[in-house]
């Protein structure tokens, strides 16, 4: 059997007719930047996330940078976040001109709220939690700390569209939520794209200006800013995909239940367990595995793609050198980075393929 880690082409093959027709309509309209399709997608996305507004931008990374800039977070400011995420989680802070401050994570791979207060100082302006793997961070605790210290919360929801914490969708808790539509994400463009969710009208208006070269009207440029908009062609095909998102999310959750059922008996691996107050959307299904490198090799021999998200924590990346972290600075993050392994979890996986993956993992540890 050959089971890739993801099957990006598969999803598009199934929707080919619908997607081509949506693209064709954009070609015919001649409207390639913003316009009705982008607005329709933004409105649907805001509805999905339970916020008043949503804004389409160029990438998830830009969503994060523009959000911080909209909150006037720049030089002299600090933002508290995690180091076990994709690099954008921290680079956005530096790119906005501020300083990323890392705290360690818990067994759920999300920010450990008990460690946040210690990292706060007079320069701290925001907390940037990530809903990593598609599992919501502990928003009750995070919002409580933010409120007590008058900090903004910017949620990195790039992996977590439709995830819920206490029956409320992620992206609706903080001042701003940031999403990625990168082809690997649960809801994806055929190229790059990003979304911002927000309730505050002033912030919404500010970010409309920030994504559009700083123009507040046709001829008035209020502030230097890049050009970062969601392409109309992407919005049109995303409106098609949006109709299937619930089905895909349910399928990811079913796949996760299967793994949870058949892998939790193995003492050599640790499987994520969902809490009753959370709904995880399993962007990745991350286990912690004894003998990880050999397991990856074994799975590869058996035709199964598995990946590590992420092998090098951000605080130990060359780009982070100036921040002064060292091996040992974030013990849980670093320990997990040596054990974690993401198994295939995409919606198109068949029962037969899931069984095969589970059997191979069991065989590996029993041989
Ligand atoms: C993918 C991702 C991003 C960046 O999104 P892009 O659209 O690739 O710029 C940011 N944060 C996290 C957690 C991600 O997974």
Contact 301, 290 (CB under 8 A): no
For the segment 275-295, the average pLDDT, to the nearest whole number, is 98
Alpha-carbon distance 253 to 23, whole Å?
30
pLDDT at 305: 98
Please state the domain count of the chain. 2
Residue that is last in its domain, among 191, 216, 242: 242
Mean pLDDT rounded to a whole number for the chain:
97
For the segment 186-209, the average pLDDT, to the nearest whole number, is 98
For the segment 272-301, the average pLDDT, to the nearest whole number, is 97
Q: How many CB atoms lie within 10 A of CB 301?
A: 9
Q: Which atom of ligand 1 is nearest to the CA of 132?
A: 13
Give whole-number Cα distances, 125 to 27, 100, 143, 153, 172, in Å.
44, 11, 13, 9, 19
Whichever domain contains 186, its CATH number is: 3.40.640.10
Residue that is last in its domain, among 204, 227, 242: 242
Report residue 11's pLDDT band, with 50, 70 and 90 as the boundaries.
Answer: confident
Mutate-to-test residue for ligand 1 from 83, 88, 188, highest number of ligand atoms within 8 A of CB: 88
Q: Which atom of ligand 1 is nearest to the CA of 88?
A: 10
Which residues, other chains included, contact 259 with Cβ-Cβ below 8 Å and sequence gap of 6+?
271, 285, 287, 343, 345, 354, 358
pLDDT at 367: 84
Residue 14 has pLDDT above 90, yes or no: no
For the segment 114-136, the average pLDDT, to the nearest whole number, is 98
Pocket (CB within 6 angstroms of ligand 1):
59-61, 85-86, 88-89, 130, 156, 158-159, 180, 182, 192, 194
Instruction: Let me know whether 222 and 346 are in one domain.
Output: no
Q: How confident is the model over 330-343, as pLDDT tens digits?
A: 999 999 999 999 99
Q: Which atom of ligand 1 is nearest to the CA of 92?
A: 10
Instruction: Let me know whether 216 and 230 are in one domain.
Output: yes
Cα 12 to chain center, whole Å?
21
Report the separation in Å between the CA atom of 180 and the middle of ligand 1, taken as the mean of its atom positions.
Answer: 5
Instruction: Let me know whether 209 and 343 are in one domain.
Output: no
Residue 90 has pLDDT above 90, yes or no: yes
pLDDT at 234: 98
pLDDT at 93: 98
Whichever domain contains 342, its CATH number is: 3.90.1150.10
Instruction: Let me know whether 180 and 279 are in one domain.
Output: no
For the segment 207-219, the average pLDDT, to the nearest whole number, is 97
Report the separation in Å between the CA atom of 1 and the middle of ligand 1, taken as the mean of its atom positions.
Answer: 31
pLDDT at 300: 98
> What percent of the chain has pLDDT above 70?
100
Residue nearest to atom 2 of ligand 1 (CA): 158
Residue 13 has pLDDT above 90, yes or no: no
152-166 burial by CB neighbour count: b if 16+ within 10 A, else e? bbbbbbbbbbbbbbe
pLDDT at 10: 84
Report the separation in Å between the CA atom of 86 and the middle of ligand 1, taken as the mean of its atom positions.
Answer: 6
Alpha-carbon distance 24 to 28, whole Å?
6
Phi, psi of 355 (to 5 degrees): -60, -45
| Structural domain boundaries enclosing 281 | 245-366
Q: Which atom of ligand 1 is nearest to the CA of 63?
A: 9
Residue 90 in any domain: the answer is: yes
Q: Which residue has the tokens 């210690």?
A: 118
Residue 2 in any domain: the answer is: no
Q: How confident is the model over 33-75, as pLDDT tens digits?
A: 999 999 999 999 999 999 999 999 999 999 999 999 999 999 9
pLDDT at 193: 98
Instruction: Let me know whether 152 and 297 are in one domain.
Output: no
Q: Which atom of ligand 1 is nearest to the CA of 194?
A: 7
Instruction: Let me know whether 267 and 222 are in one domain.
Output: no
pLDDT at 124: 98
pLDDT at 76: 97
Report the separation in Å between the CA atom of 65 and the middle of ligand 1, taken as the mean of its atom positions.
Answer: 12
Mutate-to-test residue for ligand 1 from 159, 171, 281, highest number of ligand atoms within 8 A of CB: 159
Alpha-carbon distance 315 to 119, whole Å?
15
Mutate-to-test residue for ligand 1 from 62, 79, 89, highest number of ligand atoms within 8 A of CB: 89
């Amino acid at each position: 059997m050959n089971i890739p880690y993801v099957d990006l082409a598969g999803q598009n093959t199934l929707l080919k007719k619908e997607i081509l027709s949506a693209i064709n309509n954009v070609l015919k309209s001649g409207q390639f930047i913003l316009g009705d399709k982008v607005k329709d997608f933004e409105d649907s996305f805001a509805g999905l996330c339970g916020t008043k507004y949503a804004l389409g931008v160029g990438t998830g990374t830009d969503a994060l940078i523009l959000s911080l800039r909209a909150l006037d977070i720049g030089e002299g400011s600090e933002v508290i976040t995690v180091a076990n995420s994709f690099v954008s989680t921290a680079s956005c802070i530096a790119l906005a001109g501020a300083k990323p401050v890392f705290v360690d994570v818990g067994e759920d791979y999300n920010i450990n709220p008990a460690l946040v207060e210690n990292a706060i100082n007079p320069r701290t302006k925001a907390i940037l939690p990530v809903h990593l793997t598609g599992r919501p961070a502990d928003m009750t605790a995070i919002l409580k700390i933010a409120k007590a210290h008058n900090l903004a919360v910017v949620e990195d929801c790039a992996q977590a569209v439709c995830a819920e914490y206490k029956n409320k969708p992620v992206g609706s808790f903080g001042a701003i939520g940031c999403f990625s539509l990168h082809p690997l994400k649960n809801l994806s463009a055929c190229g790059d794209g990003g979304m911002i969710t927000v309730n505050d009208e002033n912030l919404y208006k500010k970010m409309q200006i920030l994504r559009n070269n700083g123009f507040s009207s046709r001829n008035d440029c209020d502030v230097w800013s890049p050009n970062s908009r969601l392409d109309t062609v992407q919005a049109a095909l995303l409106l098609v995909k949006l109709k299937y998102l619930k089905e895909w999310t349910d399928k990811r959750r079913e796949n996760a239940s299967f793994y949870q059922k058949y892998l939790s008996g193995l003492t050599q691996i640790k499987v994520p367990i969902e809490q009753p107050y959370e709904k995880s959307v399993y962007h990745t299904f991350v286990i912690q595995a004894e003998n990880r490198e050999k397991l990856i090799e074994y799975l590869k021999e058996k035709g199964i793609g598995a990946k590590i998200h992420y092998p090098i924590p951000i605080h130990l990346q060359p780009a982070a050198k100036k921040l002064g972290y060292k091996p040992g600075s974030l013990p849980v993050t670093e320990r997990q980075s040596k054990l974690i392994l993401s198994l295939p979890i995409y919606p198109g996986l068949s029962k037969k393929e899931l069984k095969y993956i589970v059997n191979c993992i069991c065989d590996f540890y029993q041989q």
